[in-house]
A and B are shown apart, each in its own frame.
Chain A
Amino acid sequence: MSGLLRDKCAIVGLGYTPFSSNSGVTTEMLAVQACQNALTDAGLNSSEVDGLLTYHLNDTAPVQVVASSLGIRELRWYNEIAQGGPGNCAVILEAAMAVLSGMCETVICYRAMNGRSGRRAGELGKGGGAVDEMQFLMPYGIIGVPVWYAMWARRHMAAYGTTKAHYGQVAIAQRQWALNNDRSFNREPLTLEEYMSAPLIADPLSRLDCCREIDGACAVVVTSAERAADLRQPPVYIRGGAYGAGPGAGRNYEKWEDYGELYSRYVGPRVWQSAGLGPGDVNFAQIYDAYTFIVINQLEDFGFCAKGEGGPFVASGATAPHGALPVNTGGGMLNEGYLNGINVVGEAVTQLRGQAGVRQVPGAEVGLVSGFGGPQGSAMVLRS
């Protein structure tokens, strides 16, 4: 889809709800509030929207219900993508494809979840039968998403000499960015000493390596470049993108060949090909950061540094404020909270509009965004 997609569609609206530990409202209410805020931001009203798209893990209101409550009189295209992290760029790219096909003109993409007060990631019942792929995990106490992913972090350490302190440098750099983000729940600098002394959840990961679950929603409006030209905000063009999965994908991951690599080994080359650009052409990267270590892995896979050099690259300060490659310039989900990466998209849009205030990357014109799900994932290049 590389040639067809390029700069033909744009992001024209961005809306958030407050992020909290207990929204006190339903996911339908969160979705509607974020979508309405995105429309206001774009200078559109709901009668001008004819497409709606979300992604989820069976934890949110049906998209048709949200369309109805938004007052969309005729929905010409909609869908729900059944996945977590990879959905963040996938929804934007799917929306662009729907617009390009002519099925609809203006799509709101959103993610709404009570991820803290409602059903939490990997939550289980009281015990009993372990079915499907869980037959091979739960009987051993391999329960809790950080437990699965800690094993990926450990493998990278064994294969490349990456250290716990390297993961700490990811958290420290992103905390520096977070100090200037009103949505961040962390507003104090993080020291390496503090990081290293945090109790481990699943070695080598501590609380400071894992993003916090939150309640909230974020919505992004996608339309054609022509339509974008006379709307309120400066358009952010979708330059290119890719998503997919490597061999042996799916859940459990026993078949994933190299735990030192992620989906980005496969998606990385394709996103650059789609955009006609390379890692040297972007002014920043918003890298999906449910965990610290996956930032290092993805930076390598996307070609920002050599394989195995991600730890030293981050430790050099390259990704921190004033570094050569600003990464997760709002502090990322480690500091904003886990909204399955739609807020990672939001930060890229804010930067490319030049609206990031104190944390604005000077001259930000092109940026990479990614979405992680282990062997499966997504990425896109956006430009102003």
Chain B
Amino acid sequence: MVAFIPVPDALTQPYWDGCGNHLLLVQQCRECGRRRHRPAAGCHWCGGQGFDWVRLSGRGRLYTYTVVNRAFHPSLAAEVPYVVGLVAAEEDPTVRFHTRILECDAANVRVGMSLEVVFREQAEGTVVPYWRPSTG
């Protein structure tokens, strides 16, 4: 589908490795215990440098979204219209993930709707998490 493949770096490699195992991992600060995404060198709540990778349930709610009608890259011309958004994790709504919303018609997308993560192999060896309306 999309022409762009994530290139992991020293900060994000564990996150993408987790995706490869169908696990949604985020950093948890050893100082204040808050979780965060996207991966960062320090905690934006307290500045703590130490962290552990912890698993989230993969359930969340749609914080905001947009229906994209114009392809801003040639590779997206056959995709429009499509829905992208920001998903707030069930465990902590300040932990949010940008995503394409799959299996959701543009007419039915709503702020606050329940979503679940689904992992897709976007290229050989690269698994990317997406979110779709909850099935459970």
Chain A residues with CB under 8 Å of chain B are: 122, 124, 126-144, 147, 150-152, 154-155, 158, 199-205, 247-248, 252, 254-255, 257, 259
Contacts and interface: CB of A to CB of B under 8 A. Distances in A.
Given A199-B69, A252-B98, A141 B7 contact: no
Nearest to A142: B84
27 contacts: A122-B72, A128-B3, A128-B4, A130-B6, A130-B7, A134-B4, A136-B38, A137-B98, A140-B98, A140-B128, A141-B79, A141-B84, A144-B70, A144-B72, A147-B66, A151-B64, A151-B84, A151-B86, A154-B66, A202-B66, A202-B69, A203-B68, A205-B66, A247-B45, A252-B38, A255-B36, A255-B96
Given A141-B68, A147-B68, A247-B44, A131 B9 contact: yes
B4 A147 contact: no
Interface residues of B, number: 45
B98 A142 contact: yes
Contacts of B122: 139
A128 to B, nearest CB: 7
A143 B111 CA distance: 21
Listed residue (A136, A139, A151) with the most chain B CB atoms within 10 angstroms of its CB: A139
Contacts of A255: 36, 44, 94, 96
A259 B72 contact: no
A99 B85 CA distance: 45
Query: Which of B5, B66, B69 is the most central at the interface, judged by chain A CB atoms within 10 Å of its CB?
Result: B66
A122 B73 CA distance: 10
B76 to A, nearest CB: 5
Interface of B: 1-9, 12, 16, 36-38, 44-45, 63-70, 72-73, 75-76, 79, 82, 84-86, 94, 96-100, 106, 111-112, 122, 128, 130
A25 to B, nearest CB: 27
A273 to B, nearest CB: 25
Contacts of A199: 69
For the complex of A and B, list the 9 residue pairs with the smallest distance between their C-beta atoms, beginning with the closest. A127-B3, A144-B72, A150-B66, A138-B4, A158-B111, A155-B64, A135-B6, A203-B67, A129-B7
Given A141-B79, A144-B70, A254-B37, A259 B64 contact: yes
A59 B96 CA distance: 31
B68 A135 contact: no
A141 B130 CA distance: 12
Most chain A Cβ neighbours within 10 Å, of B7, B12, B38, B79: B38
Contacts of A141: 1-2, 68, 73, 76, 79, 82, 84, 100
B72 A126 contact: no
A136 B25 CA distance: 14
A151 B65 contact: yes
Contacts of A139: 2, 4-6, 122, 128
Contacts of B82: 141
Given A254-B96, A257-B94, A158 B3 contact: no
B100 A140 contact: yes
A201 B112 CA distance: 23
A138 B98 CA distance: 10
A199 B69 CA distance: 8
A51 to B, nearest CB: 35
Given A130-B7, A155-B111, A247-B44, A140 B2 contact: yes
B68 A202 contact: yes
Contact of A130 (B1, B5, B68): B5
A382 B72 CA distance: 38
Contacts of A204: 66
Nearest to B67: A203
